[in-house]
Amino acid sequence: MQPINAALNSVILGETDADTALASAQSALDRMLAN
């Protein structure tokens, strides 16, 4: 679940907001599932 961890870390560090992190994690998971 690396994409989720990366997204959470970016929110915790204040680098991005939750909506952006959720969208990026979702798209990363979608790519993983498509492979």
C-beta neighbour count of 25 within 10 angstroms: 20
pLDDT tens for the chain, residues 1 to 35: 688 888 888 889 988 898 998 898 899 899 999 98
pLDDT of residue 27: 92
pLDDT of residue 2: 84
Distance of CA 17 to the CA centre of its chain: 11
pTM (whole model) above 0.75:
no
Q: Is 5 left (phi over 0), alpha (psi -120 to 50) or beta?
A: alpha
- What is the number of helices (H) and of strands (E) in the chain? 2, 0
**12 Cβ contact partners less than 8 Å away, ≥ 6 residues apart:** none
Answer whether 3's CB lies under 8 Å from 28's CB.
yes
